[in-house]
Amino acid sequence: MPAVLYHCACSSAAMRHPEPAHSLEMPGGDGNKNTGSCSVLVSPVDDPQLPSFALRVSPLESLYYCDHCSSVRCTRCVVEEPAGYHCPNCLFDVPTASVRSEKNSCARNCFHCPQCTHVLSVVEEPSDSSGGADEGGEQHLPFSLSCSLCCWSSREIGWCFEKATGISAHVERLRAASDRTKEHAALLDHWRSVQRASASSSSSASAIHSAAAFKHRLAAAASKDTGVPEYRSPTSAAAVGDAERAQMAELMSLENADCLSRPDLLPQRIRLHMKLARRCRECHHILIKPVPKAQATQFKIQLMAANFLPAITLPTRLSLKHPPLPPPGPFVVDRVAPVVLRFANPLYTEMTVRVHQAPASSTQVHLDLPTLSFTLPPFTELWEYDEDEDEDISSSNLAGTPDQSAVVDRHANRVAIQIAVTPLAPAPNLTVPLHITCTHFDDFDAEKDSNSSAAAAAAASTQSPGRTVTNSFWVYLLLGPAH
């Protein structure tokens, strides 16, 4: 299926090819990115059938844009960091300071069913008329956790509660008081003391950075009989008896998990979810920053490439007055085939676009395309209602200069151009690389300064009225098979 994919510069830096790269110098300057000229490095075009090609290109909708360094960023050249935590069940916003103390779980009454993983709910059973005590003399606790899907109840494992609130804290106290939890904590304290003693005894020993290195050191110490202290369980013998030790030995020597019987599972607290913010890996500028509240779907900062770079598509129809366009192709080797591209300006300022083709030595296709330059009008919402505006275009306006000879249609903020493609060899998916340079004027700095005071606005208009931003990137046209 025909598609237009955008190239991110980080993939070419991470995937070097042994072939020499080709340098393409853009006309008109010293290489400053804000003056409309640049020097780019052209990498050999990958075969679209190779897995490496998918790592180099992405659709425009999945790319980010760093307005600080004026570069396209993909998912591999951004840094993610948490912007907020919340429970996916009750949508409770959890402060960052409480995430670690709550063990990354919801501090409210949110549990998963141990049988069907459905969310448990707190139910109340009516107390009897015997004064709040059961037949065995124990006090009746009316609240429990119940699953509405499989009808599992926490009373099966002896979990009953006096109140309908604070169940998570009560469950943590029950687990902390259990013998297994005490045994696990004692084992950790024992082997940490062994590690500290082993590290202090040898001054030339290196620091232990992994569990494998720690295990290797303990095995070496045991083989040399250096006096590793014997572990003694602080719990009673009944807590960790012979039956549990035999079960633990069976689990450690297990080779096939299919023969393992299902153990008695306990309800698990629901894990917290987090919203992620993304920064540029080069300058650490914020690209994506969502509103931290759980129920909010807005973004404080959202720098997507689709909001800054022109959208390039393969249209099926130019306008209502034009007939439908045939799909690109079929492509035959050494036969010229026309391809129509449409550029759309997402900005509210005018944009100048220049299209260059890659050197012939790096591609398997020939383009009859000179250095093409045209202007994209700014985006305006009023054009959504003026459908008939600019429908009829005078051919003299299009062919006024040699650069405009390839322009076939203009409407609103969109310009369509036509290029001639000649395949040089058969290919399962004909790939046409194009280098795009777009320049626009950004007056955001001047507007921001003008909001401070009238004197600052006058100074901004004379000294720093704005800046000229130039973005250079590669696109790959996937046009289909060539025979």
At 165-204, the pLDDT tens digits run 888 888 888 777 766 777 777 888 888 888 877 776 654 4
pLDDT of amino acid 428: 84
pLDDT of amino acid 403: 47
Above 60 in pLDDT, residue 209? no
Whole-number Å distance between alpha carbons of 113 and 143? 16
CATH numbers and ranges of domains, the chain: 3-61+308-478 (2.60.40.10), 64-96+270-303 (no CATH), 107-126+137-190+258-269 (no CATH)
- How sure is the predictor about 205, in pLDDT bands with cuts at 50, 70 and 90? very low
Above 90 in pLDDT, residue 287? yes
Above 70 in pLDDT, residue 427? yes
The residue that leads in pLDDT, 239 or 473, is: 473
- How sure is the predictor about 8, in pLDDT bands with cuts at 50, 70 and 90? confident
Whether the upstream peptide bond of residue 20 has omega within 30° of 0, thus cis, is no
- pLDDT (average), residues 149-155: 91
Q: In this prediction, what percent of the chain has a pLDDT beyond 70? A: 66
Pair of tokens at residue 436: 């795009």
pLDDT of amino acid 46: 54
Least confident among 105-114, 123-132, 308-317, 342-351: 123-132
The residue that leads in pLDDT, 187 or 465, is: 187
- How sure is the predictor about 2, in pLDDT bands with cuts at 50, 70 and 90? confident
Closest CA to 366 of 482, 287, 222: 482
pLDDT of amino acid 344: 94
Closest CA to 477 of 179, 164, 14, 59: 59
pLDDT of amino acid 396: 37
CA-CA distances (angstroms) from residue 223 to 228, 252, 311? 10, 22, 67
Least confident among 77-81, 159-163, 248-252: 248-252
The residue that leads in pLDDT, 68 or 370, is: 68
Whole-number Å distance between alpha carbons of 281 and 80? 9
pTM for this model (two decimals): 0.69
The residue that leads in pLDDT, 349 or 233, is: 349
pLDDT of amino acid 442: 81
Above 70 in pLDDT, residue 370? no
pLDDT of amino acid 222: 56
Pair of tokens at residue 220: 């070496």
pLDDT of amino acid 408: 86
- pLDDT (average), residues 79-100: 92
Q: For the chain, what is the mean pLDDT?
A: 75
- How sure is the predictor about 391, in pLDDT bands with cuts at 50, 70 and 90? very low
- pLDDT (average), residues 265-284: 91
The residue that leads in pLDDT, 340 or 265, is: 340
Q: Are 128 and 135 in contact (CB under 8 A)?
A: no
Task: For residue 460, give the amino acid letter.
Answer: A
Above 60 in pLDDT, residue 448? no
The residue that leads in pLDDT, 449 or 308, is: 308
